[in-house]
């Protein structure tokens, strides 16, 4: 049974959230920025181990469309509002991709509220130039395995204006490179886009620009070195983002374990659900 709720942030913005499962609490932070919760499969996978709370970040998905602000500090405050709405004193946090960055930011800001951090498919704490050029090269190479898909993605990307259906088509093409199983990749990507809420591009641009400014600093590294929270890092071994990017975070954390699911891409629960469940259940 799913318990859907509206969470009101301290500035009045309404956020969508839902709770399911049973056991100790676990809040999921979806990727993006500018996307929405796509963790229904994860919630079902862990339903007998945790009470799982999912939510759509501000301005995205089922949450209220708003004018931001688009900052990590604002999203950390929103996550704390979700925690409070469900009456949680402490919880485990699982963040994926951009959501892994958000979950880490929350743990650094409010470690007393976090029993464990599960950091899935993130890109570490070094600056973008240590991993993004290789990611971009891998992205174009993988999408270019089918030249017609790469050409169509470029055509849609270059358009000044796109319809909602064209936005969805572009996203599905882009997301299809995230899966190691190339035959099923379009199917997996299509599921991510159903239902389709539309990408919040303003949110995406602002938070990515913020990361470029503040990630890779000595201050962030020092903060991670003093984090008094157990951390599990979960990687898909076939993620096109270089997994060496996460080494920076692993080196900095005092309490960390790392699991690599060798046959999976950026969404490891999709391509190795049992391996993902074993890794996460070990923390929960």
- The domains of the chain are located at 3-128+199-283
> What's the average model confidence in pLDDT over 214-239?
97
The domain 3-128+199-283: what is its CATH number?
3.40.50.1820
**CB atoms closer than 10 angstroms to residue 34:** 22
- pLDDT for position 220: 96
At 38-57, the pLDDT tens digits run 999 999 999 999 999 999 99
Task: Provide the Cα torsion 203, 16, 123, 180; round to 10°.
Answer: -110
- pLDDT for position 272: 98
Helix, strand, or coil (residue 3) = strand
Mean pLDDT over each residue of the chain, to the nearest integer:
97
Band the pLDDT of 1: cuts 50, 70, 90. confident
At 67-95, the pLDDT tens digits run 999 999 999 999 999 999 999 999 999 99
> What's the average model confidence in pLDDT over 117-139?
97
> What's the average model confidence in pLDDT over 98-109?
98
Residues 6+ apart with CB under 8 A from 230: 116, 117, 255, 256, 257, 283
């Amino acid at each position: 049974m799913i318990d859907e709720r509206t969470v009101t942030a301290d500035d009045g913005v309404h956020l969508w959230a839902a709770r399911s499962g049973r056991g100790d609490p676990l809040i999921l932070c979806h990727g993006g920025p500018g996307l929405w919760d796509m963790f229904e499969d994860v919630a079902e996978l862990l339903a007998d181990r945790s009470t799982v709370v999912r939510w759509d970040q501000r301005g995205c998905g089922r949450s209220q469309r708003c004018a931001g602000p688009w900052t990590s500090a604002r999203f950390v405050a929103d996550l704390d509002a979700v925690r409070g709405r469900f009456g949680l004193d402490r919880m485990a946090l699982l963040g994926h991709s951009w959501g892994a960055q958000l979950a880490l930011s929350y743990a650094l800001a409010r470690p007393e509220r976090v029993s464990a951090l599960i950091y899935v498919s993130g890109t570490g704490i070094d600056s973008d130039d240590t991993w993004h050029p290789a990611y971009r090269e891998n992205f174009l190479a993988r999408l270019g395995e089918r030249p017609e898909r790469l050409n169509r993605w470029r055509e849609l990307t270059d358009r000044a204006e796109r319809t909602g259906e064209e936005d969805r088509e572009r996203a599905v093409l882009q997301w299809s490179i995230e899966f190691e199983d190339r035959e099923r990749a379009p199917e997996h990507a299509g599921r991510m886009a159903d239902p389709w809420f539309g990408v919040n591009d303003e949110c995406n641009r602002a938070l990515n620009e913020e990361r470029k400014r503040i990630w890779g600093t000595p201050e962030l590294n020092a903060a991670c070195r003093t984090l008094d929270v157990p951390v599990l890092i979960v990687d898909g071994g076939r993620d096109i983002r270089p997994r060496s990017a996460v080494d920076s975070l692993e080196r900095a954390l005092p309490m960390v374990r790392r699991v690599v699911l060798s046959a999976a891409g950026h969404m490891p629960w999709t391509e190795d659900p049992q391996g993902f469940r074993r890794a996460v259940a070990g923390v929960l």
